[in-house]
Structures are given as structure tokens and as C-alpha cells.
Structure 1
Amino acid sequence: MDIAGKTAVVTGAAVGIGRAIAARLGAAGAAVVVADLDAAGGEQTRALIGPTARFVQVDLRDDDAVRELMACRPQILVNNAGGGAVLQPCFPDASVERWTASLDVNLRAPMLTTQLAIPRMRANPCGWHHSVMTRPPVAAFAARPVTTVALIVGAVLTALSGRYGYHRDELYFVVAGRHLSWGYVDQPPLTPFIARVSTAVFGDTVMGLRVLSTLSTVATIVVVALIAREFGSERRGQILAAVCAAVSGFVLGVGHLVSTATYDLLAWMLIGLFAVKLLRTGDGRWWLALGVTAGIALENKYLVVLPIGALFVSLLIVGPRGVLRSWWLLAGVAVAGLIALPNVLWQFQHDWPQLKVAGGISEDDGTENRIMFVPLQILQLSPFLVPVWIAGFRRIWRELPWARPVALAYPVLCVIVLAAGGKSYYALPLLLVLVAAGCEPTLRWIERHRVVAVVGLTLTALTSAVFTLPVLPASAADFVIPVNKEQGEQIGWPAFAASVADAWDRIPPGDRSTATLFSGNYGEAGALVRYGPGHGLPSPYSPHMSFWDWARPPDTNTGPVLLVEIERTPIFESYFRDCEQVGTIDSIVANDEDGTALVLCSAPAEAWSTLWPKVRQFY
């Protein structure tokens, strides 16, 4: 649309978004009227735009001043002025005068300016498109209570971070962090790098490893509250959003551990925040923030393309498609690509191994993932939060039409994940965005059902803690493992290494210099790297994931081979001679390692350099 020479009035244009809108209109050739009470800021905006702009100082609470402003008969009107600053510090302390002033600025002035603009637009003889835009204001951020909620969660995670022990993935990340690279077989480099930094700064312990993960979760809770603010939540709604995030099982579960999902969740929440800001304000520069966030997230996990892809599809379906017609979108894509480029080049140079891993996930687990998708959408966040995110979807669709692409992105993403056979948690972050949107209607419900709400919140917190955090004795973890198997993957690693050491002792001392410790799984290999030296074990080798790249046994290792197999596999054992089971892992819980076979073979069937390509496992 050509707006060159058209008159545009922008209220509240002295600073922030109003200034950005005015500058964008001026750059497109419009004659901009910068309207604001702030004379200094208004003159700065006028100077920024140049000679096609003029500043009008106006108090929007004064009807006569508003009529004088609109005498210019604009073809474009942007009602940007507004907000809740006149009610600060909080509503209970606001005077009647401040309340009236807030209504005048937020409601009365936009009504009057729009009424005065419409006759000119109706009388237009040329059919040129005229526009009125009223930007929805946001409330002040409830920084102190929201931060308090987030820090309480951080304190709980810190207090429990030393319980149980390392998760199998964490053991792998620690080893990967010692082999820093722009990529790995199964993931980009960010999480191993963070593991390296965290242990270097806070100590090479399970608690030291998890510090940055805890901080990431604290930030995630704050961002969820900020999203609620963008949806129009006042102080109480923002606090409720933070509390809902704080007690959700998914947030607590990934926050307790170091995992790619931990940092993915924060990235997805930031993408959700910037997407909502983009839709609410129409300011294309938020594409740049989206691009930076997406680029960093791509250095952690490729899953970030899913919510962005779902958002694009939703924009094409329900609009507003105008946000796609922006050079800022191209800039955002370029920045994301530039940040992600090192890992993409690594994957290209290594024949895209991550695609092989993804294919293995879909092939081996796809059917189960599809069957359990809907139940886990309910269970993993928390069944008690289901009414909140349903209310959020309905609220967006009925009351916030500008945000409909965000709501539609969730079912679109679910369809994509189901089609690909992906894991259920891939779609959970967008549910948190819907939870943030649902806090306002939930508050209205709470007003009528306070006791039920308190009981529900308490049950949510308790069930989430029991099923996702190490609050039970390790011996009682079997109670929660059927729902959350990750609990069991943190238990028993020192005893596991001790059992492997007992099997290793079956090898005659004279043969150990040419013997090989061979683990079929990355988690078990990581545990043997961590705890093996304390039992006199040599460095393990593994064909799994990136362990295959880091080291292979030398051809001089022609002696016995101790295989550590989650389950015995004849095809796998055919690569070795005279195999006999000499031990079994007896874990105190029913985790993946319970029942692992320790198989002693007399020698590899052929030289390791020949054997190594044959035994590689991508998943």
C-alpha cells in the first residue's frame, strides 16, 4: 500500500513503540503528526523522522485538544497512547482522579479520535484505503512477586539437585563437553558447552553441573509471566502465570536436569514472547529478536523449527499476513541462519548424522509416541492445568483476535509432531503460552471458587514435585518411574560401575593390557568414564552416538572384550569370539540398566579398525 504523502497521526509517539511506528510511517513517505504530552520526547521523534513530520503537544484527557489535533483530517490514525502507569503503584492505592485519567487516556481518547477520523475516511472519493489502529496497551510488569516465585523454584531445585545422582544424558553431556565441537552425532553443541562451563565455574559435581539449568528455569518462569502481560494480564494474572509455570511437572522436570529440553524450553518461551509482541504491536523489528533467539536455539536442538513453522502456517491461515511482508522478517531469517551456520556446516561435512538419529527415533518409538501423545499432553504439564490452557485458547480465539495465530499454532504443531512420530514433549512449550493466556479467565473463576483453587494448586505442586523431582527415597522411585522414567535414570550409577569392575576382574591380570571395555549405550559409557577410574577400570569404548567418533580401540587390543549390553543381542555378539555372560546389573529400581548383561568375550572377531564401522549405532 502506497502511503507517500498521506497524513498519519500517531498518539503516544514520543518514545518506545509509538516512536517506532511513527518512524516507520515516515520512512514510507507519510506526513507524520507526532502527538504526545512529552515535549522533549516528541521533538526527538520529529527530528528522527525529518522534515515530513511535525510535533503536536496534546493532553489526550482534554477533548478540545483532541479535536484540535484531529483537525488535520488524517488518512491514517494510530491510537498508541495508553497503559496503566497512571494507576501505579497499584490499583488499591489509586485515587479516583487517577482512575478517571486512566479511563480517559485508554478508552475515551481512542474513541474520540476514531470518531473524528471516520467522516474523512467515509467521504474519500478515490477509494484509497484509510486505516485506524488502536494498539492494546500492557500493564506494568509485576517484577517483584514474579521474580520471588521464580527464585523460590530456583531454591527448591538447588536444594534437591544433589539427590539421586547424574542422569544418563548428563553423563553423556559431561563427556561431550570435554570434546567441544560445532556439532555431535545427535545434537548441536550448546548443551555440552553449557555443561562444560557450569562444571568449570561451579564445580565438577552433580550440583555444579545443574546450576545453569536451574537459572534457565528461573528465567523461563519469568518469561511465562511476561507473556501473560502481553496478553493483557495485570499484576495478579502475571503472578498466577508464574505460579502455574512453577508448579507444572514439565517445567520442574526439565529444570531439575541438564538436558537439551531445559534450554529449548527457555528458547521456546522467548520465541512465544517475541511472537506475541510482534502480533500485538505490528512492529516488524520483533522478527529480528525472533531470529536471534531461533539461531541460538538451533545451536541447541533443531526442534525450534517446529513452533516457528507452526506459527508461519497459522499466520497464513488466519493472518495477519501483513507481518510476513516485512524486510525485518528476512533480516531475522538471515541472522538465525548465520548463528546456526557452524553446526549446519558440521552436519553437512559429516553426512547429516542427526537426521539418522531422528529417523531412528521415529522408526523405533514412533507408534508408541503417537499412542501416548494425547495422554502425555495432559499428564506431563499437569492435569490440573488443563482447564487453564483450554481457557487460554478460548480467550485468544474469542477476545484477542490479533493473537489467533499463537493459539492455532498449538494444534498445528500437534499435527506435525504426530505425523513425524515425535515425542509428546515437543508440543508442551506452546501449552505454557496458552496457560499464560488463560490466567485472566482463571482469576475470574478463582474469585468464585477460592477453596477449590487452593486445593487444586496444592495438588498440582505436590504431584508435580513427587513425579518430577527426587523427593522420594531412591528405593521408592519405582512408584513414579512408570510415569516418569527419567527419575530412575538418575539412580544406581556408582553401583553399576562397581558391578562392571567385578566382571572386569574376571579377566586375568596378564591379559588386561590388551583387553577392551566395550559399552553398547552412551549413558553406560558416560557412567564408566565418571566412576570407572575409582574401581581401576580402563577408559570405555562405545559405538553409540558421538562416543564412536571420540575414540576406537587400537588394533593392538586383541585380548578379551567385556561387553556391557542392556540386553543380549546375538547379532552384536557375533562380532566377538566365545562370549559368555559373567554378570548382571541388579539395580535397586526398575530403570533401563536393571538386568544389563555383562558378557565376557575372548577377543574381537577381526581387527578393531575393520570392526569399528560395522558396530556403529546412531540410536
Structure 2
Amino acid sequence: MDAHTDPLPRLALGPVGVVVAVQIAVLTALSGRYGFHRDELYFLAAGARPDWGYVDQPPITPVLAHLSATVFGDTPSGVRVAATLIGAATAIVVALVARELGGGRGAQVLSAVAAALSSFVLAVSHMLSTTTVDVLMWTVIGFFALRLLRTGDGRWWIAVGAAVGVGLENKWLVLLLVAALGIALLVTGPREVLRSGWLAAGVVVAAVLAAPTVLWQAAHGFPLLTVASGISEDDGAENRILFVPMQLVYVSPVLVPVWLAGIVRLWRDPALRWARALAVSYPVLCVGLLVLGGKPYYSVPLLVLLTAAGAEPALRWLDRGRRTVRRSVAAVLAVVAAAISVVIGLPVLPAADLGPVLAMNREPGEQVGWPEFAHTVSLAWKQIPVEQRGTATIFTSSYGQAGAVERYREEYGLPQPHSGHMSYADWGPPPDTMTGPVVLVGGFEDISETQRLFTGCRVVAVHDNGIGLDNEEQGTPIALCSGPAAPWSQLWPDLRRFY
């Protein structure tokens, strides 16, 4: 293939650095405003039990949560240092993608700002999640792939393979990106890169890096696939209905013309013919997600990359015709969009006023009320006579509830909780000697099933976060049961839940 080795525009290190510095400052200032997210509580619990895999995820995010909490403090702010740095890295990589596509200083800065302020990226940069890392890894893979296609240097397959391997140690969704890019390359070219001997080397690197997690999943019956199929079965129809509308809002409605311009530019510009695969990979990915019933946000990292591709034509459009009017309108829209993104993605409102925000983003609500939740559980626990507590158990219906009790148990005098949800099930049932009372947290959807598994249950508390916030745990009933209906080891298979 013909290598496109013309000198790239100068890296806008200073202004991009300013964007990233502001991004870090804002995320840090707001990182502790609410509290832990349910997933962060789960990651802390998983990270304290290091392994090569977990039921619903590979190990990277739990390890990051544990390391960040250890180094910076076991607080929301401490855990979220990792998320903040990953969000900043994402903005830098997106700016590098804009440069790789010939974008000058303005395009690089616009791309970094768009990445830092887009609604979805902003939300996942505020809290640590597998998606936080996933967004970064997708953009890194996209950058390395573009460098491979532009230079024709097959050695970049090693970098692509390394990024894919690391991505697989965090979330297997990266395989969708690999498939989409591969199909797009076959359709648009340059196909020569697929004939490079370095491709095999890149595959080996990815396989070696991903092997520990793949082997763990294989040894445990690939529970990650069970979780994924359950999500598709439960939410697939809703995901398909919402897919197209959510594509228009996840990054920002204001940026829709920019990423559309990116698709058009990559397809039409002869100088970027080598990068057409990036434009085609987006519709390929969307078709795959619609078929699989995947969540609409899975495609967001590609939209961020396409926004970088569209930054240069967007700036040229602002310089044409009535520049003052265009720039003024664009500035107003940008300010409004940024304000909306901040309100939706960051904890700027009082927790009691989150109601309207939850209609667009449920995640802030899941960061409120966990210490109070553990306190409610403790009220039920204290109803157990002291002499019976040695054989008593706390059993929760979800990993978030278990994570909250585990995190705050010393503060409220609670024992280690147990749960059959996700990897908590792998961490074992209570000993069969625990035949005493059971504090049963949630899980009353099927009363007959509850009565089959536990005896003498009666609701003794209902959780209230104290501010009337309608999040997932508000109104959770907590029962006190006489005990398990059979030994825990016998009940455990029936108590296991993958979603």
C-alpha cells in the first residue's frame, strides 16, 4: 500500500494540556459530592479478592479500584482518581486522533473539549466503571489502527494487538470494535495491511495478554457470556427501540453535525481514503448491536473518534460566510450543551433535586444513600438477640447491597454479608453451621420462592434514603427470617443470580 507519511500538523500540546488540566480540576472537585456508586462498591469488594476474572467482568477495573483506594484513600474521591486520570487520557488520545487525520491546533483542541464534555464520557469519567476504561481502550485502538493505516507500517499491529489484549482484560465488548474495524477494512481497504505478517504477531500479543481471563472464564463455564445473554434477553427490545435516539444524545446533540461531518469527510476526502474504514466501522457496529440487542452506549467511543474526524470541517464551516453569526450561534449552543452535559453527568445538583436528571441518567441516583442503607440493615440486625448473632447471616439480593454492607459494616457493627448475585456467589455461601436468623435484604419478587428458601420471614424495615430520591434501593424491604430452610451449601445453587 502507499504510505501517507506527509508531516502531521504540530501537536497542540499547550492548549490541549489546558483543556485536560481544567477537566481534571473539575472532576476532582466534584468527585466526592455524592458517594460511592453501587458498581464501585462491588469493584472494591472484587479488588479485595484479586483473581484473573469475575462472573461479569475481567480483572482490570476491580484492580484499579483497589489500587486507587489504597493509594488515594478508601473514599469516593480516592477511588475516582483512577477514573479522572482515565478520562483525561481519553481526551488526549482523541486529540491525537484529530492530529492523525490532519487536524491542526484548532481541531485538536475542539476534539479534546468534545471528548471531555460529551455527556456520556463526562459521566463515566466521574465514576470508576468498566466503561470508563473501555472508552479509553477503544479510542487507543482507534488511534493505533489509524496510525497503521496511514503509515502502512505493519509493526503497528503489535500496538493494536497490545491494546486489544489489555481491553479484553477489562471488557469483552472490545471484540465488537475489532469485528467492526475488520469488516470495514475488508469493504473499503486498504486490504494490504491484512496481508502483513505483523498481523499474526499482533494477534499473538492480544491472545497472550487476554489468556488469563479467557482461561478463568473457560474454567468457570464462561459466566460472562451468561450475563451478556441475560442482559440481551431482558433489555434487548428496549435497547433496539432506543438505539437511534440515544445516538443523537449520548455525545451531545450539538456534536451530531460534527461526527456526521467526520463520516462524510472520511468517505469523500481523497487525502483520507486510507481512513475510510473508520467511517464504515460505525454503521457496521450499529447493525451488530441492533442484531444482538446491545446497549446503545456501546457505540459511543466510535462516535467520539468520528467527532475528532469532523472537527476540521466543522471549524472550516465556522470560517465561511457570515463568520460572526455562525460563531456566535455555535458558541451559544456549545455553552448550553456543556451546561446540560455537566448537569446530567456530574453531581452538581443537590441530591434531593436529582429527579429530572434520573430520567436521562440513572447513575447519579445510584451514588446516593449507601451509608444510610447499611444503617437500615443494621436496624434489622439489632433485632436479633445477641446470643443468636454468632450463627446469624446477612443475605442480600444484589451485589450493590452486599458491597454497601461490606464497606460500612464496621461502622454499623455488621458481619460480612453474603449474596448469590454475580461474583459474590463465587465468594461462597455461609458455613452450614450458620443455622440462625437471616437478615434478608430485598429479593421478595417471588414470595413462594422466598418461603421455600427461608423460614419465618417478616419485614422489619424498609429503606428510606431520607430525601425521597427514587433510586433503585429506595423502598427496599428488609426481612428477618428464622433461618435458612436447608443447609446453605444445599441452597446456594438456587440463590445464584447472573443478572
Smaller-chain TM-score bracket: over 0.9
Counterpart AA for 2:478: L
Matches within 5 A, 1:255-294: 255-294=125-164
> 2:80 aligns to what?
210
Counterpart CA distance in 1 for 2:4 and 2:385 is 82
How far apart are residue 217 of structure 1 and its match?
Answer: 0.8
Offset of residue 510 of structure 1: 2.5
- Are the equivalent residues in 2 in contact too, given 1:136–1:280 (CA < 8 A)? no
Unaligned runs of 5+ in 2: none
Q: Where does residue 426 of structure 1 map in the other structure?
A: 298
Q: Which has the higher contact order (CA 8 A, sep 6+)?
A: 2
Q: Which residue pairs with 1:123 in the alignment?
A: none
Q: Alpha-carbon deviations, 1:460-510, whole Å to 9, x = none?
A: 210000001000001111120110000100001111111111122222222
The question of 1:502 aligning with 2:379 is answered yes
2 CA distance for matches of 1:133 and 1:182?
40
Give the CA deviation at 1:139: 0.6
**Is 1:592 matched up with 2:472?**
yes
Q: Of residues 88, 97, 108 in structure 2, which corresponds to 1:238?
A: 108
TM-score, normalisation: structure 2: 0.96
Is the alpha carbon distance of 1:421 and 1:237 closer, same or farther for their aligned partners in structure 2, counting shifts above 3 Å? Answer: same
2: CA distance, partners of 1:397 / 1:337: 32
Report the counterpart of residue 401 of structure 2 in structure 1. 524
Cα offsets for 1:148-179 (capped at 9, x unmatched) = 10111011000000110000000000010110
Contact 1:224/1:432 (8 A) holds in 2? yes
- 1:182 maps onto 2:59 in alignment: no
Q: Closer, same or farther in 2 for the Cα pair 1:395/1:542, shift >3 Å?
A: same
Structure 1 residue 133, shift from structure 2 partner: 5.9
Q: Note the C-alpha offset of 1:611.
A: 0.7
Alignment match of 1:606 (pick from 486, 490, 499) = 486
2:454 corresponds to which of 576, 594, 597: 576
Is 1:226 matched up with 2:104? Answer: no
Runs of 4+ in structure 1 over 3 Å off: 131-137
Q: Evaluate the alpha carbon distance shift between residue 132 and residue 598 of structure 1 in structure 2; reply closer, same or farther with a 3 A threshold.
A: closer
The Cα RMSD (Å) is 1.3
Is the counterpart of residue 548 in structure 1 residue 425 in structure 2? yes
Which residue of the partner structure matches residue 310 of structure 1?
180
Contact 1:190–1:299 at 8 Å: present in 2 too?
A: yes
The secondary structure found in structure 1 opposite 2:221 is coil
- Kindly indicate whether residue 240 of structure 2 is the aligned counterpart of residue 364 of structure 1: no
SS at match of 1:480: helix
> What's the offset of the Cα at 1:538?
1.2
User: Which residue in 1 is equivalent to 2:365?
Assistant: 488
Distance 1:421 1:321 in 2: 30
Is 1:151 aligned to residue 21 of structure 2? yes
| 1:469 lines up with 2:346 in the alignment | yes
Compared CA separation, residues 386 and 567, structure 1 to 2 (3 A): farther
> Any idea what SS the aligned residue of 2:275 has?
helix
Within the alignment, does 1:417 sit opposite 2:289 as a pair?
Answer: yes
Task: Give the secondary structure class of the aligned counterpart of 2:67.
Answer: helix
Residue 280 of structure 2 corresponds to which residue in structure 1? 408
- Distance in 2, matches of 1:596 and 1:132, equals 63
Distance 2:195 2:150 in 1: 16
Where in structure 1 are there 5+ consecutive unaligned residues? 1-130
Aligned pair in 2 of structure 1 residues 571, 340: CA closer, same or farther (>3 Å)?
A: farther
Aligned twin of 1:5: none
TM-score by length of 1: 0.78
Tell me if the contact between 1:566 and 1:595 (Cα under 8 Å) persists in the aligned partners. no
Q: Pick the aligned partner of 1:457 from 334, 347, 352.
A: 334
Instruction: Give the drift of 1:603.
Output: 1.3
Q: Once the 2 structures are TM-superposed, how far is the Cα of residue 511 of structure 1 from its aligned partner? A: 2.0
Are 2:72 and 2:79, in contact at CA under 8 Å, matched by a contact in 1?
A: yes
